[in-house]
Amino acid sequence: MDPYIDLLKVLLPELLITHFDIVKHQTDKDILHLYFEEKRDIPKEFSSGVVISDGFHKEITIQDFPIRGKQVYLHIKRRRWLDKNTTQVVQRDWDLVAQGTRMTVEFAAFLKVLNHY
């Protein structure tokens, strides 16, 4: 096991670390930007057909828990897949963003709990 990957799974949503590659990071004053691209692994749900990678969807930016006093923004590019049999573009169904927000599901749930106190 890679200790760096294990550490990242504690700091960031595990879904990101498992299915996305970190391609870049940038620190601007009190803001940490982390850039992710979905891995090129063919999704299991499409394994019955013939699919190929067909680029990326538009990047989304969401806010996550602060780390060491810095705001954290996750820049995520999801992969598009082309089904060669049907010529349809398919994609995985990710549940990355809490509905009605631009925050991760975990961060939005945390803030919701804080609001009740």
pLDDT digits (tens, 9 = 90+) for 55-97: 998 998 888 888 889 999 989 898 888 888 888 887 776 655 5
Per the CB < 8 A criterion, the answer to whether 42 and 19 are in contact is: no
pLDDT of 51 strictly over 80: yes
Instruction: List the domain range (segments joined by +) for residue 22.
Output: 3-115
State how beta strands 31-38 and 70-77 pair: parallel
Residue 117: pLDDT band (50, 70, 90) is very low
Looking at residue 49, its pLDDT comes to: 73
Single pTM value for the model: 0.76
pLDDT of 24 strictly over 90: yes
Both tokens of 105, joined, read 């599901």
74 burial (CB, 10 Å; 0-12 / 13-18 / 19+) is buried
Among residues 35, 19, 36, the alpha carbon closest in space to that of 93 is found at: 19
Among residues 4, 91, 81, the alpha carbon closest in space to that of 50 is found at: 81
Both tokens of 102, joined, read 């631009």
For the chain, how many structural domains are there in total? 1
